[in-house]
Chains A and B, each alone.
Chain A
Amino acid sequence: MKYIIAKSLDGALAALQDTGTGRARVVAGATDLFLQEQPDRLIDISRLPELQEVTLEKGLLRVGAAVTHNAASASGLIWEKAAALAEASTLLGSPQIRNIGTLGGNVANAAPAADAAVALAALGAEAVLFDSPGRFYVKPFAGLYAGYNCSRVDSCREILAWFLIRPAGPGQGSAFLRFTARGALSLPLANAAARVTLEKGRLKEVSLVVAPAGPAPSRLKKTEALLLGSNLSGKTWSMAEESASAEVAVRGSALRCSVEYRRRLIGILAGRVLSLAAQRAQRNR
């Protein structure tokens, strides 16, 4: 197998297009990829400076796909403008994994409950992609999943470059929570992320995403709608818990937990994560 460390985005795209020497695939931290079938050529995009940037420009937070979880967790800008993402990156995996695993890899790997992906989904992120002929597209987050562990991002042809996020302004806040069977090195039994906008002490906008519930991070639209206009009381969060629990479609497994427990857990996390996001929104004047 050939391992190519890309020096530029154009170089990486060219290397992907050059199929003469066998199948190629994009790699970043390889924390997911090393467990899977290896292609003939790997194009490492993890050192491209433009893919490691975190910037705020033209009212949008732009986060590079090659930003590692540790980098995201250490970014003051991400904490301020998209706390849910920083939180997910802080809790994911273990120190070693966070050191090399990237946001782009987390999303493109398309695991149903990938932590950073759940946060990005709740934040309403959009993905900027380049394909090998060099064209670029902007896709909504929901359009990135094709099925269980199957991404619409074709990593043999496309490079996920950035995530575009609407930054938290006054009265806005986000949060992420996960529940695991062990303190570290444990995929979540359930996770949840929320983003809210407040107006006069009431919920004006709500985005609530939970997982694992289906192949992609799952937006609970009924619960979101139900909560609009509610105040920030314990009653609201109980209502959120109940509604989320009822709305979500989950699976159980002997290895992780039963359907009933996951349903309860997702409800509890939904209530808690909304309350946390609202607290942040209140503080964000």
Chain B
Amino acid sequence: MIRRNIKAGEGKEGFPGARGFYDPEVWAKVTGRARYGIDLALPGMLQGKILRSPHPHALIRNVDLSRARSLPGVRAVLSGTGLGAKPYGIVFDDENPLALDRVRYIGDEVAAVAAVDEQTALEALQMISVEYEPLSAVFDPEEALLKGAVTLHDDFPGNIAWENRINRGEAEAAFKDADLVVEDTYALPSFHPGYIEPISCIAESEKFDGLTLHTALQSPHIVREILAGVLGLSISRVRVISPVMGGGFGGRVYGNLKLYLLAAFLSRAAGAPVKMQLTREEEFTVGRPMVAAMIKMKMALKEDGTFLARQADIITDNGAYSAQAPWVSKTLSERNDSLYHIPSISTRVRLVYTNKVPTGQYRAYGNQLANFACESLIDRAAGKLGMDPLRLRLKNCIGPGDTSVHGLQIKSCALSRCLQDAADAIGWTERKKGRGYGISAAIHAGGSIVFNPDFRGASARARLELDGRVTIVTGEQDYGQGAHGAFALIAARALSRVPGEINIVSRDTILTPFSIGALGMRQTTIGGRAVQLAAEDLLARIRDCAAELAGEEVVPEGGAFRTSSGRLIEPVGIAAFYCAKTSGLALTGEGRYVPEKSDYDQSGYGNIAVTYSFAAHACEVEIDRETGALTVHRFVAVHDSGRIVNLLTARGQVYGGVAQGLGMACSEGYIFEEGRVANPTFSGYRIPTALDLPSIETLFIQTDDPEGPYGAKGLGEIVQVPTPAAVANAVANALGEPVNELPLTAEKISRLLHGWECAD
């Protein structure tokens, strides 16, 4: 059961026209008509498959493709040495499209085949013989850091892919002077976004050195640049078209670059379009889950509960290659420090190579992983101080107008109200015996201005169509989170129209302005602001044109214009007039939203985003004291995401994010055995089912943000951040004992309850 609630008097259903409005694509999805990447086919299309390493670490002595090449129906067979491709990467270039002389994890790509059908391609894979010389492998990041550990990449001695230290204030002194110091070590496994549609693509190598790639992406423009670089093509000759996406959750910002590159190389070699599609098992074993993390954390407090300092030593498990893991590690290591007033911070974070699945990104960039540690430790401190965990948080909350310890400039912020309302809704003051209660809070940046300090904003175009409708052209992506619907509501509001009269065009790099894409809660905040500005610009131009057409002054009236003599001029008439006058052009508007440059410095101090969203989650759990089974009975999610654009889709975000967070807390996570993924299926990697989810109550505290469009802020990523910690705190409350490892399986809880040890 899902209960709904919204505070009285606060923008009931969202922006004007939001009630009952949804993007037309939603219908296509629920009626089964939407065409996903997996459904696509082109005439003459070949099927591509990849031969993967069975070894966690080995040298490649020889790859023999000749037998595979001679199999009838095979159109292209490639190995790493034949490609002549440069290494590539997202943060640094540590990957090759196909392994050259060494494989670094079970699943590493060694050869690729394109054939007339899948069966033939799979047969051809069996006919490729590879001679390996196995090397010793390292699976534990702490072992990988030891002197003498085998090194994965020659360019990264000591297996450290990336490292950072942050020092603010006087942490050392604070720990000396503190009345209370609490500390613990927290461990989280790798989590996969678990989107239902596995990644697929069709690459079509064009004559004159071009490429068209059909694949659903969150950041098609950035992927286009990377592909062009590795393939040696001009950027403008690479076109990325995104079909409807069957779930992304941050896992498809860059999707699976290797798959796209291999499809492109195969298509080039075969002279035909090549489709490639990961199996579910490949999704888990070679997809890009989020880093696993080990967080050693220490906190200093005054007797009255004032936070003095936090110290953290964090190790994140990179797997064999990096993708976005350095960024994830950075957000993970910093973001929670800005949730409260903490004057001194001392953090060290190391991202470590191991011979396991390479990692990437998943909703919220690891903020949720560190949140589990930070918010658990706060509860621990509250226990030691004999203070209510809610009160301890309220005492230290960051607020509007504050600048955080890392220089984040908080404009709108309802953190303390989120906490208070979450506590009220869960019944904090009348907690029942035999149940456990937990609360946790979060901050997340919406719309990064330091992702690329020179490219901070977004742009959009608006066009008046001959039918009077308005088309918004944007490079931002709707990948299921409802961005198109939000853009329609924002544009409609600027134009005094109904949202159903707005067309949204995106998902094609040839048609749309350059964009960073759907990441870091940019879409509604930054992308939406550009849409608002484009619509406003168009409105001014329509008005001028209406006045020209009328030959007198006009004032806007409900999407049309009233002349001073009382005539009403409709958009259709204006569009026709302008089209005739210009021999075919349409009235257009442009919106560029360019946020102020950041004062961000070398030490990483400074404002990093246009807005900050806040949340507090609270829950009630019950534990079967014999088996250790955990039941989450009720869940409350209170969010400050500024003005809510569309309440229906906003709730959808919260439900989905909480469900994923509950999965992390209770049942999900990679299990490895000697570098091999032991649970590469949905039966072993246990995302929650409907039966596992509690009733989720959603509440929105609607602040008015000065930067976001009409006061709106981001909601996509933060929804998952406080969830695992809220559950962990509730479990700790029920057990009367801290928990420091996720997921909280019944077996783990049983061990905590009964103190037994595992022998096997």
Interface residues, chain A, CB within 8 Å of chain B? 94, 179, 181-187, 189, 252, 254-255, 257-261, 264-265, 268
Contact = CB atoms under 8 A, between A and B. Distances in A.
B750 A264 contact: yes
B689 interface: yes
Nearest to B685: A255
B601 interface: no
Contacts of A185: 682-683, 689
A217 to B, nearest CB: 20
A182 B747 contact: no
Contacts of A264: 627, 750, 754, 756
B684 A184 contact: no
Contacts of A186: 683, 686
Contacts of A179: 627, 629, 746
Contacts, number: 62
Interface in B632-679: 667, 671, 673, 678-679
Q: Is the interface of B mostly helix, strand, loop or mixed?
A: loop
Contacts of B691: 182-184
B146 interface: no
Contacts of A259: 759-760
Nearest to A190: B627
B759 to A, nearest CB: 6
Given A259-B760, A260-B756, A254 B678 contact: yes
B14 interface: no
B627 A265 contact: yes
B626 A268 contact: yes
B745 interface: yes
Given A182-B667, A260-B758, A254 B627 contact: no
A258 B747 contact: yes
B692 A182 contact: yes
B30 interface: no
Contacts of B684: 255
B759 A181 contact: no
23 contacts: A94-B689, A179-B746, A181-B667, A182-B667, A182-B686, A182-B688, A182-B689, A183-B688, A184-B690, A184-B692, A185-B689, A186-B683, A186-B686, A187-B683, A189-B746, A255-B679, A257-B747, A258-B747, A258-B760, A260-B756, A260-B759, A264-B627, A264-B754
Contacts of A187: 683
Contacts of A183: 688-692
Contact of A181 (B626, B682, B686, B756): B686
B175 to A, nearest CB: 38
Contacts of B692: 182-184
Nearest to B757: A260
Contacts of A94: 689
Nearest to B750: A261
B150 to A, nearest CB: 23
B750 A255 contact: no
A244 B684 CA distance: 27
Contacts of A260: 756-760
A268 B628 CA distance: 11
Given A258-B758, A260-B756, A181 B627 contact: no
Contacts of B746: 179, 181, 189
Interface in B738-760: 745-747, 750-751, 754, 756-760
Contacts of B745: 181, 257
Contacts of A181: 667, 686, 745-746
Contacts of B689: 94, 182-185
Given A259-B759, A264-B756, 7 more contacts: A179-B627, A182-B691, A183-B688, A184-B690, A184-B691, A261-B751, A261-B758
A136 B682 CA distance: 41
Contacts of B686: 181-182, 186
Of A182, A189, A252, A259, chain B has the most CB atoms within 10 Å of the CB of: A182
A181 B673 CA distance: 20
A78 B626 CA distance: 30
Contacts of B690: 183-184
A252 B758 CA distance: 11
B683 A254 contact: no
A161 to B, nearest CB: 31
A199 B452 CA distance: 80
Contacts of A254: 671, 673, 678
Contacts of A258: 747, 758-760
Contacts of B673: 254
Contacts of B756: 260, 264
B745 to A, nearest CB: 7
A179 B749 CA distance: 15
Contacts of B754: 264
B742 to A, nearest CB: 14
Contacts of A189: 746
A184 B689 CA distance: 6
A268 B627 contact: yes
Interface string B670-711: 010100001100111010111110000000000000000000
A114 to B, nearest CB: 15
B139 to A, nearest CB: 13
Of A94, A187, A252, A254, chain B has the most CB atoms within 10 Å of the CB of: A254
Contacts of B671: 254-255
A182 B760 CA distance: 23
Nearest to B663: A182
B678 A252 contact: no
What 4 A-B pairs are tightest by C-beta distance, nearest first?
A183-B691, A261-B747, A184-B689, A183-B692
